[in-house]
Structure 1
Amino acid sequence: MKIDKRHLLNYSILVPYLILSVIGLIVVYSTTSATLIQYGVNPFMSVLNQGVFWLISLFAIGFIYKLKLNFLKNSRVLTMTMMVEVVLLLIARFFTKTVNGAHGWIVIGPISFQPAEYLKIIIVWFLAFTFARRQELISTYDYQALTKCKWWPTKLNDLKDWRVYSLVMVLLVAAQPDLGNAAIVVLTGLIMYSISGVGYRWFSAILATITAFSTVFLGIIAIVGVDKMGKVPVFGYVAKRFSAFYNPFKDLSDSGHQLAHSYYAMSNGGWFGRGLGNSIEKGGYLPEATTDFVFPVVMEELGMIGASLILALLFFLILRIMHVGIKAKNPFNSMIALGIGGMILMQTFVNIGGISGLIPSTGVTFPFLSQGGNSVLVLSVAVGFVLNIDANEKREEIYREAEAELRAKQRAAQIHEEDNVIDLDSFY
């Protein structure tokens, strides 16, 4: 019996993805058209570029959906992908021009891409592959099965430790400097570690450690002062973000300008919004209104109700993705789906936290709505992985049920034959 995967497509994931993607195209047009008209450029230019990436993304989803999962479990394919990613991160850091004070974009003719965006899905793939192969050891030795090597490699074999690979890639992203994507990669890695099979208490320990470290770090900055911390070379780039985090209205002309106008945009929207395309803040008052701070513009135009419905749809998509991971029988499939759901959740949290002042702004795009073809492509590839995993899990479940039913019928037939056997000795 062969089952076509077309009949196993999870529409509870595909439909929300398609709706969010279309809403994203509308938002991109709304946030970019007015500025493009001012410069005498085709107002549809940005949305057309975004649309091209989305069409490529749809083809990518179709291609990934048809792949056999053994392709993802091939160590050579994964190793090659990671090597290419490291090379691209090095090129982005040392051989590209800065954009808004940071490296990270590789431009080839009319095409530009950001390697750090693709690392988010690669880290999920890599850690799922690594942890899935150690399930028996984890069940026996708990966290020690994942920490048998030293942090500092003293032997060549130590370089195979997953922590070394992960740390190198995170540091390459942070060196751009791209602290937003670095934070998402780290948080996603912690989620992967928590769902790897180690004792549940380690999740609580990790959460408590992050909370304590963040509290101490913010406390030190508050005591020492943002101005003094800004003189530290490594910290200079993010000093203004922390200044705005503590009091955005203290320096409205510089460090607090972006966050303050984010508040103005959200306040202007009220419950029902000013109407699609009628945002005031996107007209030059709110920097990065098309990317990092696109959601305040959405709230200004669609209001709290409209923005809440978009968030609800996004969280529904995340929950459906995580549901696939929870139901999956295969550890690798489970960790891929849960990791992807966690990755999108972390990106949403970091973006919403930044625009609302809950955490310092880190320059992370909002999933599906922000302008950026790379982000759309990465999210689409992630959705393609989950759809493929869900279809394979469903097919395996059907095969298991069919096999169990066949064994039950064979057993019933065997019992029936035994009951119909005539014992000739009973006649004598």
Structure 2
Amino acid sequence: MKIDKKHLLNYSILIPYMILSVLGLIVVYSTTSPTSIQAGGNGFGMVLNQGIFWIASLCAIALLYRMRLDFLKKGSFITLIIFIEIILLLLSRFVSGTINGAHGWLRIGAFSVQPAEYLKIILVWFLAYRFSRKQEEIGIYDYQALTLNRWIPRAFNDWRVIVALLIGIVAIMPDLGNATILMLTVVIMIAVSGIGYRWFSTMLGSIVGVSTIILASIWLIGVERVAKIPVFGYVAKRFSAFFNPFKDLSGSGHQLANSYYAMSNGGWFGLGLGNSIEKRGYLPEAHTDFVFSIVIEEFGFFGASLILALLFFLILRIILVGIRAKDPFNSMMALGIGGMMLMQTFINIGGISGLIPSTGVTFPFLSQGGNSLLVLSVAIAFVLNIDANERRDALYEQLRAEKEQEEN
């Protein structure tokens, strides 16, 4: 008996994805049309671009859902993807121009490609492949199985060298937001690989400790001195805003201060869709990094909380797929994707609220950015495919058991 995968589609993941994507198109139009029209441009320009990427995303989901998962487990294919990604990252860093003080975009015709966005799903895929092949060794040797009992890697094909190279290129763009997401995603992947919980606790504690030391050092040394470092001069301005956004309202603190104003304007129920004040030239990047501030201003705390709850529901359903999966690769892929989306949400919300320095990270689904939407959609497609395969395998196993029982 053949079970068609179309009957195993997980609508508890697909429906929230569709709602958030459509809501994202509405928010993109709301946040970009006033300034576009003011500049004499097309008010639908940005949303049309986002819509094209969304249509491409739906096609990618339909295609990837029907494919066999075996193609994800081919080492030669993963190696090729990693090689191409390294080339694209180097081109975006050393060949392309800067946008908002950072490299990272490759212009292809009317569209731009941001390789760092695609690295998120590639890194989850790569580590899930590597770690899933070491499950027996991990069960015996714990964390040492992942490092071959060597704290310092000796070969280029060591996963630690590859990961450090990829994240390092992103960091020197400088794109510390995506670099932070990638680093935290790696920690999550290590945590779900099967190692003892004490290793995860140690790594998490080390990250918190190092981050605290860095922030304290910048505060003691002074942002002005740190800003003289060639690569991280632009990033230093974000730290200045983090320490006191109201000290320089016309400069480094302009975005964060106006983010506060937007959230304050929203109150409990918001000003209404399209009625934001801050998006009309007061809050720069209102359609990307700080889009959720505008969401709060227009939908209010109550409406924004519902949107956030829907996103968290989607993430929890993805994590649940990973918890229930029996295949180690499938489990780590789903858990890594859920963790990556959770980290991106946390870093964005932390940045716009001043809990952590602003890093330029987009809000999942709602921010304008075709590359981000496409990557998230591909991640959703992988999870839907994994869930369908796991459920189909479970049904086949149940049918075999029932058949054996009837024969006996």
- Distance in 2, matches of 1:234 and 1:347, equals 23
Deviation by residue 1:107-141 (Cα, 9 ceiling, x = unmatched): 01112110000000000000000000000000000
Q: Give the match for residue 206 of structure 2.
A: 209
Q: Give the match for residue 258 of structure 1.
A: 255
Gaps of 5+ in 1: 412-428
Between 334-343 and 398-407, the greater mean CA deviation after superposition: 398-407
Q: Give the match for residue 48 of structure 2.
A: 48
Q: Percent identity?
A: 67
Contact 1:151 1:163 in 2 (8 A): no
Between 216-225 and 185-194, the greater mean CA deviation after superposition: 216-225
Contact 1:97 1:103 in 2 (8 A): yes
Contact 1:49 1:373 in 2 (8 A): yes
Following superposition, the deviation at residue 229 of structure 1 comes to 2.2
Following superposition, the deviation at residue 210 of structure 1 comes to 1.2
- Distance in 1, matches of 2:191 and 2:35, equals 45
Following superposition, the deviation at residue 39 of structure 1 comes to 2.0
1:338 paired to 2:350: no
1:218 paired to 2:230: no
Between 393-402 and 234-243, the greater mean CA deviation after superposition: 234-243
Choose 1 or 2 for highest CA Rg: 1
Q: Give the match for residue 58 of structure 2.
A: 58
Find the partner of 2:271 among 252, 271, 274: 274
Contact 1:265 1:300 in 2 (8 A): yes
User: Which residues of 2 match residues 325-364 of structure 1 at below 5 A?
Assistant: 325-364=322-361
Q: Give the match for residue 396 of structure 1.
A: 393
The residue matched to 1:282 in structure 2 has which SS?
A: coil
Q: Give the match for residue 425 of structure 1.
A: none
Following superposition, the deviation at residue 204 of structure 1 comes to 1.3
Find the partner of 1:381 among 378, 383, 397: 378
- The total of aligned residue pairs comes to 408
Between 217-226 and 256-265, the greater mean CA deviation after superposition: 217-226
Q: Give the match for residue 367 of structure 1.
A: 364
Q: Give the match for residue 300 of structure 2.
A: 303
- Distance in 1, matches of 2:133 and 2:106, equals 34
Q: Give the match for residue 74 of structure 1.
A: 74
Following superposition, the deviation at residue 150 of structure 1 comes to 4.5
Q: Give the match for residue 176 of structure 2.
A: 179
Contact 1:149 1:161 in 2 (8 A): no
With the length of structure 2 as denominator, give the TM-score of the two structures.
0.98
Q: Give the match for residue 144 of structure 2.
A: 144
The residue matched to 1:62 in structure 2 has which SS?
A: helix
Q: Give the match for residue 402 of structure 2.
A: 405
Deviation by residue 1:203-261 (Cα, 9 ceiling, x = unmatched): 21111111111112212222222222222334422111111111111111111111000
Q: Give the match for residue 97 of structure 2.
A: 97
- Which amino acid counterpart does residue 112 of structure 1 have in structure 2? S
With the length of structure 1 as denominator, give the TM-score of the two structures.
0.94
- Distance in 2, matches of 1:114 and 1:151, equals 33
* Distance of aligned partners of 1:94 and 1:233 in 2 relative to their CA distance in 1, 3 Å threshold: closer
Deviation by residue 1:295-315 (Cα, 9 ceiling, x = unmatched): 000100110011000000000
1:231 paired to 2:228: yes
